[in-house]
């Protein structure tokens, strides 16, 4: 009787494998982080994940208007400090709408690339650099601007060139071409 039962189990297992049933458990085991109500998959690139976050629709619209989609879909690695919709809404009234105009594309590109670092910088690595540098670490962004990384308790903060401070609210969202850190403030270069 056990031979028949084992044969049936083996047949069922083979049928599941042959039908591609193994793919579902592997995807389910992939470490995802929820951002804006959507799972962020480490095997997808920055743009493929960001478009699914309901908290980053303004950022995605801005990236498209700036013509940076192709860049952020590229090999990287990139670290993106990704402001939420609320962060953009906190800017003075009309700022986002004005930046999205074609004639302001250069300024928009400068602001967006000020949120990107050409590296795969996980929060632990940034924290170590902050500690090694005595409490503050200067980061050079893709735009050429500088951010100051620092810790406030156990929270990573970034100070822009104008003194504005953003807190990382969700860290280490792994991407196939880097990492996203969600922030609560839009960083502005000089």
CA distance 9 to 16: 11
User: 27 is written with which tokens?
Assistant: 């995807």
pLDDT at residue 147 in the model = 98
Give pTM, 2 decimals. 0.83
Q: Does domain 32-183 have CATH number 1.10.8.60?
A: no
Mean pLDDT of 105-109: 97
Mean pLDDT of 66-70: 95
pLDDT at residue 37 in the model = 87
pLDDT at residue 175 in the model = 95
Domain boundaries, the chain: 1-30, 32-183
Detail the DSSP E strand segments found in the chain: 33-35, 38-40, 78-83, 116-117, 136-140, 146-152, 155-159, 165-175, 178-183
Length of the chain, please? Answer: 190
CA distance 145 to 60: 21
Look at residue 10 and tell me whether its pLDDT is greater than 80. no
Mean pLDDT of 60-85: 95
């Amino acid at each position: 009787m056990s031979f028949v039962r084992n044969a049936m189990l083996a047949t069922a297992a083979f049928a599941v494998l042959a039908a591609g049933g193994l793919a579902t458990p592997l995807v389910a085991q992939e470490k995802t982080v929820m951002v804006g109500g959507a799972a962020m998959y480490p095997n997808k690139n920055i743009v493929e994940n960001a478009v699914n976050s309901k908290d980053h629709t303004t950022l995605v619209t801005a990236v498209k208007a700036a013509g940076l989609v192709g860049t952020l879909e590229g090999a990287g690695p990139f670290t993106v400090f990704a402001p939420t919709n609320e962060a953009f809404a906190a800017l003075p009234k009309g700022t986002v709408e004005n930046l999205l105009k074609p004639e302001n594309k250069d300024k928009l590109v400068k602001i967006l690339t000020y949120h990107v670092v050409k590296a795969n910088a996980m929060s632990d690595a940034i924290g170590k650099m902050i500690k090694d540098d005595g409490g503050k670490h200067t980061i050079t962004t893709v735009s050429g601007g500088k951010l100051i990384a620092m810790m406030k308790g156990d929270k990573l903060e970034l100070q822009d060139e104008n003194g504005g401070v953003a807190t990382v609210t969700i860290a280490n969202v792994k991407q196939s071409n880097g990492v996203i850190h969600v922030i609560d403030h839009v960083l502005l270069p000089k």
